[in-house]
Amino acid sequence: MKNKNLFSCAGKVVVVTGGAGLIGAQIVKGFVSSGATVYIADNNKDKAKKLLNLPKVKFVYLNILSESSIIEAFEVVRESDKRIDVLVNSAYPRTSDWGNKFEDIPFASWKTNLDGQLGGYFLCCREAAKYMKRQGGGSIINIGSTYGVVAPDFSIYAGTKMTMPAAYSAIKGGLINFSRYLASYYGKDKIRVNVVSPGGIFDNQPESFVEKYSKKTILGRMGKPSEMAGAVVFLASEAASYVTGHNLMVDGGWTAC
């Protein structure tokens, strides 16, 4: 390969949906460190303000629930930087009743959440791939989850108000196989499509939950948001030029045993 630094993304234009969020912000920082131009595609510019001080970081408004907003956002990026090399789907829209127990989930809520996340990712992938195909290739990385691969352990939520929403498993499981579909469909166009599936990420959850979760991982702890960035940058870089249709587990060993 011509690039001596296989993990460099210098010269690449990257779009991160949900780039102002918990994991998305760390992914943005990871791409900055690898030399890319990064667009925070989000509906909250205030949350993105600190990141906009970083070199080659830009903001584009994107409402993942709106088809017109998604189309417009990708047009803005393409017109501004003339290409889109990488898309990372990290947006995480959800309804206010997201944490309801299964018996209490309204069907309308179920449909809204599946359409909002899976539908939004579908639209973003479609728009990004349209431009990537024209320019001769690209990389799409969707953020999945361990719970898109294995069933949740509800015992770790005991004694807390937390639970694992039913729609989450359906969304992430569907997203993983949808990504395989896209990898197969766009392989001829040199567009690679992969998934990074995080394990539990520490976000000031109740102590009892953190302890129970940590005991189930090989590394004995929850993940840090920053620990997802390396996996994403790897899949976007030339170091992963022969990797497509893959679901990379970044879960501290949760799914290994």
One digit per residue, the tens of pLDDT, for the chain of length 257 reads 454 699 999 999 999 999 999 999 999 999 999 999 999 999 999 999 999 999 999 999 999 999 999 999 999 999 999 999 999 999 999 999 999 999 999 999 999 999 999 999 999 999 999 999 999 999 999 999 999 999 999 999 999 999 999 999 999 999 999 999 999 999 999 999 999 999 999 999 999 999 999 999 999 999 999 999 999 999 999 999 999 999 999 999 999 98
Beta bridge partners of 18: none
Active-site residues, by number, are 168
Check residue 1 and give its pLDDT: 43
The angle formed by the CA atoms of residues 54, 27 and 95, to the nearest 5 degrees, is: 115
In angstroms, rounded to a whole number, what is the distance separating the alpha carbons of residues 194 and 209? 30
Residue matched to tokens 């992963």: 240
> Residue 174 — φ and ψ, nearest 5°?
-65, -40
Q: Looking at the domain assignment, is residue 64 inside a domain?
A: yes
- 219 CB neighbour count, 10 Å cutoff: 12
- Whether 4 maps to a domain, the answer reads no
pLDDT score of 2: 53
What is the domain range of residue 119?
13-256
pTM: 0.96
Within a domain: 199 = yes
Query: Considering the domain boundaries, does residue 133 fall inside one?
Result: yes
Q: Residue 1 domain-assigned?
A: no
Q: How many domains does the chain contain in total?
A: 1
Question: Does 239 fall in a domain?
Answer: yes
Domain assignment present for 80: yes
Amino acid at 89: N
Residue 100: which CATH number? 3.40.50.720
**Is residue 248 situated within a structural domain?**
yes
Cα 84–Cα 61–Cα 24 angle in degrees, nearest 5: 70
